[in-house]
Chain A
Amino acid sequence: MNTDNILLQLTQFVLIVAVAPLLTGWVGQCRAWLANRPGAGVLQPYRVLRKLFNKDPVVAHEASLLFRVTPYIVFGGMCLAGTIVPMFSTGLPFAPVADAIALVGIFAFAKIFSALAAMDVGTAFGSMGARREMLVGFLAEPALLMVLFTPALISHSTSLTAIVVSLTTAKLVLYPSMAFAAAAYVMVLLAETSRIPVDNPDTHLELTMIHGAMTIEYSGRYLALIEWANAIKLLTYIAIGIALFVPWGISSSGHWSELPFTLTILAIKATAAGFALAFLETLLAKLRLFRVPEFLGTAFMLAVLGLLVHFLLGA
């Protein structure tokens, strides 16, 4: 561990927190273009955040302390998740804090807190949202874990940095098992980041909401923190996808001189992934809630199939 690596780690931390809303804005802008609308611009999430931070939050009389601390906890959890995923360098001194399994644990941690906070005020929409979010969560988390196990078995490690190092230096360009894992991962990503076809981030119809219903009682700075945490979550999920399935260009040396190059590559990949996400969302229609378990069950089965393929072919 040297100062270079610590600075890299700090750079990544500042970067994910600062850039995450930009990615959300970019996905929104792409969706607008694909729907033939001019769109609000990629900077729109920043304007929304500033507006929300300046407003007075309104908290229900019935709300307990849990309701008020949850946005901070969720924000903290997402920052940690974003910090340990190797995005442009594998020389992250903070990476040993949590491996792939613990990363899934962080997401579960944040999810449980937001579900509990949603039930705190005792409104119908809150508990409905909590129930649906946990429904998505209990199916998506095992699927995510199974997706992560395939590269973990290939590289004999659950450490994300070790996985990336092993995948970038692999002999095979494309592992057949990773193709299954990638398909499953896209499905999990759509579900976990509240995207169509599982959830609609832009919906205004309460009955179809999942994540929106959970956060319906939040306003002001609390809502801003949750929105920001969501943006970081989206960026982190896309970064995990990049690290697992297109890891080329992630530096393993940890030199400052490589930073502009690796950052550019990351930006290109993230931009492409953001566009692909918007494209996918435009093509798909939202599923009925009880089709969601089938959707996620398919993701789970695909991921398990990936593992089995790994054992059958040894690749």
Chain B
Amino acid sequence: MSMSLGLPLDLVLGTLVLWLVLALVSLTTPRYPWITRALFPTGALGGLALTVAGLMAIGQAPVVCTLPLGLPGLPFHLRLDALSAIFIILFGVTTFSISLYTAGYLEREHYPAVARMALQYHVLLASIALIFLADDAYVFMVAWETMALSSYFLIVTDHHSAAVRKAGFLYLLIEHVGALAILLAFGVMQISMHHGIETGYTFHVMRSVTLGPGMASAVFFLALLGFGAKAGFLPLHVWLPEAHPVAPSPISALLSGVLLKIGIYGLLRVVFDLLHIQIWWWGVVTLAIGLATALFGAIYSAVQSDMKRLLAYSSIENMGLIMTGMGLTILFLSYHMNVLAALALTATIYHCLNHALFKTLLFLGTGSVLHATGERSLGKLGGLIHRMPWVAFIMLIGTLAIAGVPPLNGFVSEWLLLQAFLGATVFPHPYLNMAVPLGAAVVALVAGLAAYVMVKFYGIVFLGHPREPKLNQATDAGPWERMALTWLAVGCLLLGLFPAFVIGIFRPTLRLLIAHLPNHGAMYGHWLLLAPAATTRASYMPIAFLGAICLTVLIAFIAVRLLFHRRTRRSTAWNCGYPSLTARMQDTAEGFGQPIRHIFASFLRVRRLLPTPDDNLPIYSSQVEDRTWYALYLPIARAVAWMTEAVALLRRRRIAIYLLYSFVTLLVLIVFAP
């Protein structure tokens, strides 16, 4: 390309090309194995470049360009605006660490299919970057399908096991139902235009047309279905807990950290950028789905005993919270309360960033544990803080962040979301006003449950006694992995400590999506202080918060030593005088989740295996199953099976019958022909 498009877009396109080249180069790795070592660190540089490009682009006016690719007469349109930029930053920061981590991961775990994995991985990264840049339905769908297929192949990396193939199929199926809905959404937007076919498929044209409420609602629901399938909203979440555990850990991290956010990106793009009207009941529907998803994910994650499944359900919970924020945004916008809408949107985007960071961190850390121990089941882990102190420390930061406690980042978005809820008292509908506090109550309950889940997760994996003798041989993560994990942990800390600064970065995004926003957006604070309205209304100062606690801890520490003594005796654990302590006396994952299973028994479907009284080797087991399978998916499967059988009845395998069908069809056509 001869002319320059401005540095940010050049950087993004350059990264895209870099990744495609790396994908091609990875084909040569079977012959030149030394290339493998350089592949992923080089790919990580691309992530860094994207971060820089996003940071540069976010404050600038949108840049558009047309690539002479695609079909004749249907070129690719690209656009880099503030919404793409914030998601490119998210993607760049996350993918930088995932690539670094994969470099170390492949050194330790000798995958036979490194070449294939490197190929698919870099194609996936390039397609994600293209999705964020896409400015027409055509390139969007091409990138979307590439993303879906390459991520499918990455999920089924260990394709020798039937469970992996099954999970991959489920992912692919739901992905494609979603893709169909997205395609239809774009189609509905296009048929309601009077432009020529050549330009009708660009987002620019879709943006310039105002749809009526009926058409707009159709687009909204199709987009909700399509992007919701990607983002894992209830009841389309079923692929998450199946696909995450079977994929290699860096891929799980990428799925949860980035791919789920693409669904959010798509929804934001369609609902706030392409559509011009927002109707209040869209907000109610989104809010209801979001709250249901969040509560569902929180309850189910509390009763899991597989590390990655637990994290997958926790991702569902977090996507629910993001969706809740989006629902509030739509609701506020539909009543033209733009400042409050900006506050809710800030919470939504902030939580996207947070979740990308801490969930990637947790999945990567889980990968390190998996490496060191070969165990994914919580019931066979424990005490790893002694064997893997580095990973344990970094994971503690991730755990506190996702548990939503100050002064880490998870709390900031939760705080913003609750502030948005507290502002939601001014709707003209009295019922709406009353429903909103119930929403806040659910968010509070979910936050409490998340803390419970994370204590369970961290406590059982890292604390206590090792539950298996082999855990004593576990070794800490290597340098690449440490670098990746530290990068994310620092990100969590920075996002927690400087929220006003971070919000300042993506203020252009808010201004892009919400018209007529006052200059300050929805924030009055400065870099030290976060305040959604005047400081007397609400405020939070994370730095002072951390400083105060550190100072008190320091004073207490010194004072105790000066005034008294610093002697400490080491001995065996007290345990109320009971002498023989074994690792099996600690709570298992099932034990720790038991109160939740008890309280929320009606939400869960628990299958219990009870031994008979005269059983010599009694085994008690209980399994929690996803209710949506029985309520939705199995009936659909049965209906499809029934329909195919019904169709089979029509096929009598006699030529006369088929000729009769043709004849009847002809008659019908003649009668009803206009």
Chain A residues packing against B (C-beta within 8 Å): 53-54, 56-62, 64, 66, 69, 72-73, 75-77, 79-80, 83, 94, 96-99, 101-102, 105-106, 108-109, 111-112, 115-116, 119-128, 130-132, 134-135, 137-139, 141-142, 145-146, 149, 152-153, 156-159, 162, 206, 216-217, 219-221, 225, 290, 293, 300, 303-304, 307-308, 311-312
Q: Which residues of B contact A138 (CB under 8 A)?
A: 445, 448-449, 451-452
Given contacts A109-B406, A127-B464, A142-B444, A79 and B574 within 8 Å (CB-CB):
no
Alpha-carbon gap, A84 to B572, bound state (A): 40
With contacts A123-B573, A142-B445 known, is A153 near B422, CB below 8 A? yes
A145 near B553 with CB under 8 A, answer no
A134 to chain B, nearest CB (A): 5
Interface residue? B437 (CB, 8 A): yes
CB atoms of A122 and B537 under 8 A apart: no
- Is B576 engaged at the interface, CB distance under 8 Å to the other chain? yes
B447 near A141: Cβ-Cβ < 8 Å = yes
List chain A residues, Cβ under 8 A from B544.
94, 97
A232 → B minimal CB distance (Å):
11
Residues of B within 8 A of A (CB): 382-383, 385-386, 396, 400, 403-406, 411, 415, 418-419, 422, 425, 430, 433-434, 437-438, 440-441, 444-445, 447-449, 451-452, 454-456, 458-460, 463-465, 529, 535-541, 544-545, 548-553, 556-557, 560, 563-565, 567-576, 581, 583, 585-587, 591-592, 594-595, 598-599
Q: How far is the CA of A132 from the CA of B568 in the complex (A)?
A: 29
Question: Which residues does chain B contribute within 8 Å of A116, judged by CB atoms?
Answer: 396, 455, 458-459, 463
In the complex, which residues of chain B have a beta carbon less than 8 angstroms from the beta carbon of A126? 464, 586
* 23 residue pairs A–B, Cβ–Cβ below 8 Å: A54-B565, A56-B565, A61-B572, A64-B463, A66-B385, A76-B548, A76-B549, A76-B552, A105-B405, A112-B400, A119-B460, A119-B587, A124-B585, A127-B592, A135-B595, A139-B448, A146-B437, A146-B440, A157-B536, A157-B537, A304-B438, A308-B437, A311-B434
The CA-CA distance from A290 to B386 in the complex, in Å, is 35
CB–CB B553/A131 < 8 A: no
Contact A119 B464 (CB under 8 A): yes
Chain B residues, CB < 8 A from A112: 400, 403, 405, 451, 454-455
Q: Is the CB of B434 within 8 A of A124?
A: no
List 8 A-B pairs, minimum CB-CB distance, nearest first: A122-B464, A142-B444, A138-B448, A119-B459, A127-B587, A76-B552, A60-B573, A122-B465
Known: A130-B459, A149-B440. A64 touches B536 (CB 8 A): no
* Chain A residues with CB below 8 A from B539, complex form: 96-97, 99, 159
Residues B536 and A159 in contact, CB atoms below 8 Å apart:
yes
Alpha-carbon separation in the docked complex, A173 to B645 (Å): 72
Report chain A residues within 8 Å CB of B438.
Answer: 304
- B571 and A225 within 8 A (CB): no
CB B546 to nearest CB in A, in angstroms, measures: 10
CA gap between A187 and B264 in the complex, in Å: 39
Q: Are A159 and B537 in contact (CB under 8 A)?
A: yes
Set B557, B570, B585: member contacting A59, Cβ < 8 A: B570
Given A127-B586, A142-B441, A158-B422, A59 contacting B569 (CB threshold 8 A): yes
- In the bound complex, CA of A34 to CA of B38 (Å): 75
Contacts of B571 in A (CB 8 A): 58-61
With A and B bound together, what is the CA distance between A145 and B439 in angstroms? Answer: 13
18 additional A-B residue pairs with CB within 8 Å, beyond A115-B459, A125-B576, A146-B441: A56-B568, A60-B572, A60-B574, A66-B463, A69-B553, A79-B552, A97-B539, A98-B406, A99-B538, A111-B451, A115-B455, A130-B587, A131-B594, A131-B595, A132-B595, A135-B595, A153-B425, A311-B434
Cα distance A118–B518 when bound, in Å? 49
Contacts of B405 in A (CB 8 A): 105, 108-109, 112
Q: Are B549 and A105 within 8 A (Cβ)?
A: no
CA distance A214 to B437 in the complex (A): 34
